[in-house]
Amino acid sequence: MVWLLCFAATTLPAERFPRNPAQLFEEAELVVVGRIVDLQVTTERSHVETGFGNYDWAIDLTLQITNVEKGRFEGDSIVARCFRIKSRKSVVEYVTASGIRPIPAVGTPVRAHLYFPRDHRWRVVYPNGLVSPKGAAELPDAETVRRLEGRGYTYGLPLELWVAMGVLVAVSALLRWLIRRLWRGIRRRPPPVFEGN
């Protein structure tokens, strides 16, 4: 089990500290200022934990753009995808990126730091790519986002527990078979015959 944790720790993208404004600006391909005009929540296969059975809440924010601060973008609105963990199949996979924080409510003005990955949709820079354009205190999560259930396991229990239970069942079945076999051997043995002098 320890080797599995060591292997997983070297291959999984871990949780990151929030980026400061300079880091966010540098990491982003596009920085826009605008107001959130729509928020839609769906489910998607995780783009962080890409293995089968890992799901995220996909939160699409439609922004009405008032200013482009970095990059080029034609149009007056853009859809930016955020995410939060919905479910993972194992405990180890919860060590990874847990989502964008905060994801503000409709009507909130934001500065959005975005990148364009392989899935052909704008995504918010992880973990804190949505900030107040005025540099005010941290924005609160939208009520819709706060109500999302997360941190569950895809198959009811963590995969590690299913494996441990499977090993336990296999070992107990093997022990039962061995005990029965030994018991049958003892019962088949003829009783010892004692010869008197």
Task: Return the percentage of the chain with pLDDT > 90, whole number.
Answer: 43
Can you name the CATH fold of 2-153? OB fold (Dihydrolipoamide Acetyltransferase, E2P) (2.40.50)
Per the DSSP assignment, residues forming a β-bridge with 99 are 84
Q: What is the pLDDT of residues 36-53, one digit of tens each?
A: 999 999 999 888 877 787
Mean predicted confidence (pLDDT) in 5-14: 45
Q: What percentage of residues in the chain have a pLDDT greater than 70?
A: 79
- What pLDDT does 17 receive? 84
For 116-147, give the DSSP string.
--TTSS-EEPTTT-EE-TT--SPPPPPHHHHT
| Burial letters 2-18, b for 16+ CB under 10 A, else e | eeeeeeeeeeeeeeeee
Domain ranges in the chain are 2-153, 157-188
**Cβ partners under 8 Å of residue 37, min gap 6:** 62, 63, 64, 77, 106, 107
> What confidence tens digit (pLDDT) does each residue in 64-97 have?
999 999 999 999 999 999 999 888 877 676 677 7
Query: What's the Cα-to-Cα distance from 7 to each of 90, 127, 164, 170, 181, rounded to whole Å?
Result: 14, 24, 18, 25, 40
Structure tokens, 41? 């929540």
Among 108-117, 160-169, 176-185, where is mean pLDDT lowest? 160-169
Place of tokens 């900030």: 131
User: Measuring CA to CA, which residue among 146, 117, 132 is closest to residue 57?
Assistant: 146
d(CA 178, CA 160) in angstroms, rounded, equals: 27
Q: Look at phi and psi of residue 92 and say left if phi exceeds 0, alpha if psi is from -120 to 50, else beta.
A: alpha
Radius of gyration of the chain (CA): 28
Identify the bridge partners of residue 123 per DSSP, sorted by sequence position: 81, 115
Count of helix runs (H) and strand runs (E) in the chain: 4, 7
Residues 6+ apart with CB under 8 A from 157: none
